[in-house]
Amino acid sequence: MNIQTFTGTVVNREMLTDDVLFLSMTVPETFSFKAGQFITIKITRERVTRLKSYSLFNPPSRKGKLDFCIKIIESGFASEVFKKTKVGDTFELKGPFGHFVFDENNGLQEHWFLGAGTGVAPLYSMIEEYVRIFPQQKFVLLFGVREQKNLFYNREFMALMKKHHNFSYVPVLSREQWSGKKGHVQDHLPQDVSGKTFYICGLKELVLETKELLMKRGVSSDCIKSERYD
């Protein structure tokens, strides 16, 4: 894929939870990417400019518009800018970047996706794209957050599960008692790991712990793909 620099114009902005912002930007129709990749957004604040990376949330088959879900971190450099972002604002974007993409050719029939918080963004893009393309293959998403109120896109994931019988959505809460899955998201990985690929996205600790656990269970490194947000 060609790396391009282009302008994104904000066309939608909403808080999905207390601290997760959904941003949608129109971009040139010619921009293309693979599900799972990210772009950089040039952020200028008080005359300081930094490039910040964000995963593309929408599937690549939808052209001309990019969606992002961004965790707002108190006093974070980019977060403070995104807090004030309005419809009509423009940003300089560059990409696509990254090798965290779906392996279409390994012949395996079951794919497990594990994400925490906004780490679910590239996973959603991959699932939306490939669940239709490979209806005979099984896709499972383990989505870890603290409490029910943090489960953004819950309705969309439920709808996707209804629409595609080869997709299972498993939300996992670490800080609230409920009737669903509880504890660490990685505790819900399958014991039998044969014939499966694993895609992990989130902060360092989650990614490293999950990879170690999978490798201990015998998964080879070429069946584990990961993206770290820090």
Ligand X SMILES: Cc1cc2nc3c(=O)[nH]c(=O)nc-3n(C[C@H](O)[C@H](O)[C@H](O)COP(=O)(O)OP(=O)(O)OC[C@H]3O[C@@H](n4cnc5c(N)ncnc54)[C@H](O)[C@@H]3O)c2cc1C
Map tokens 């780490």 to a residue: 119
Q: Which is nearer to ligand X, 70 or 224 (CB)?
A: 70
Q: Is 13 exposed, middle or buried (0-12, 13-18, 19+ CB in 10 A)?
A: middle
Smallest distance from ligand X to CB 121, Å: 4
Choice from 114, 121, 141, 207 touching ligand X (CB under 6 A): 121
* Binder of ligand X out of 23, 78, 123, 140 (CB under 6 A): 78
Cis peptide before 96 (omega within 30 of 0): yes
Amino acid sitting at position 219: V
Contact, 125 vs 58, CB < 8 A?
yes
Is 168 a binding residue for ligand X by CB under 6 A? The answer is no
Instruction: State the burial class of residue 118 (Cβ atoms within 10 Å of its Cβ: 0-12, 13-18, 19+).
Output: buried
Among residues 17, 55, 150, 166, the one that binds ligand X under rule CB under 6 A: 55
**Coil, helix or strand at residue 93:** strand
Min dist. Cβ of residue 117 to ligand X (A): 6
Q: Which of 17, 24, 58, 118 binds ligand X (CB under 6 A)?
A: 118
Question: Going by C-beta distance under 8 Å and a sequence separation of 6 or more, which residues neighbour residue 79?
Answer: 70, 71, 72, 73
- Pick from 77, 83, 180, 205: which binds ligand X (CB under 6 A)? 77
Which of residues 23, 70, 173, 193 is near ligand X by CB under 6 A? 70
Interacting residues with ligand X (CB under 6 A): 38, 52-55, 68-71, 73, 76-79, 117-118, 121, 203, 227, 229-230
